[in-house]
Amino acid sequence: MRLEDKTVVITGAASGIGEETAKRCADEGARVIVTDIDTDGGEETVAAIEDAGGEAAFADLDVTDSEAVHAVVDEVAERDGLDVMINNAGTGHPGGSLEEIDDGIRDFVIDVNIKGVWNGCHAALPHMKTQGHGSIVNIGSLASILGLPKQAAYSTTKAAVLNMTRTIAAEAGPYGVRANAVCPGFTETQMLEQYLATQDEPEQAHQELAEQYPLKRLGTPEEIANAVLFLASDESSFVSGHGLVVDGGFSTC
């Protein structure tokens, strides 16, 4: 198994990509620490992992709270070691041009998508450097490499995640620590459902989105989780500072 006897902390694991990634890591033998602000959803993820014979525990965690992130990561690292840190928690915002996005929405998206990832990396790196190994996987987006119309705040934050990842790879590489990002295209998640709900014709909007992709469909959380698993595992032992785009070919068009 690719993550046998390894300890993985993952943020935003109550649903969507985070949930499926937690399950995949557990399937591959990892001890998974599921974190989220959604306690019920997080505990359901843990229960599903345990029902499948895996090992998991839940920690209620707001990634925008630096002290709380450090407390959770420190406790896990001191008890079990810390092999993989997956910074998955993120948020979007209603569509609108840059001048239409109010300061409150902008600041909230920055707090979760940039500061949240920063906090996770900031907490994990000292432990990984000391032990001489570790893999950080940050969840970016297609918006990390493309400016998405009417998604100025989201695109800004996801671009920052990718460059933060590259910087960490350069700084932490000499200590045996790798850092990579996965950059998904539109994926069948709760966040997508929330976006489609703002459209006049949700089903039509979904179909039009899918038609923009060469594969003529959107991604699934399981497909993104498989990419995260590759970067988390030793199979990618010479991959660092990379943004793995998983978008069904959208960015090639």
List residues with catalytic annotation. 154
Amino acid at 74: D
Amino acid at 243: G
CA distances from 226 to 27, 101, 144 (A): 11, 34, 19
Alpha helices in 81-151 (DSSP H): 103-110, 116-131
Task: Report the run of H or E that residue 210 belongs to, with start and end.
Answer: helix 202-211
Q: Rounded CA gap, 22 and 31, in Å?
A: 9
Q: Rounded CA gap, 253 and 56, in Å?
A: 40
Torsion sign across C-alpha atoms 1, 14, 192, 91 = negative
* Residue 28 CB partners (closer than 8 Å, separation 6+): 1, 2, 3, 4, 229, 233
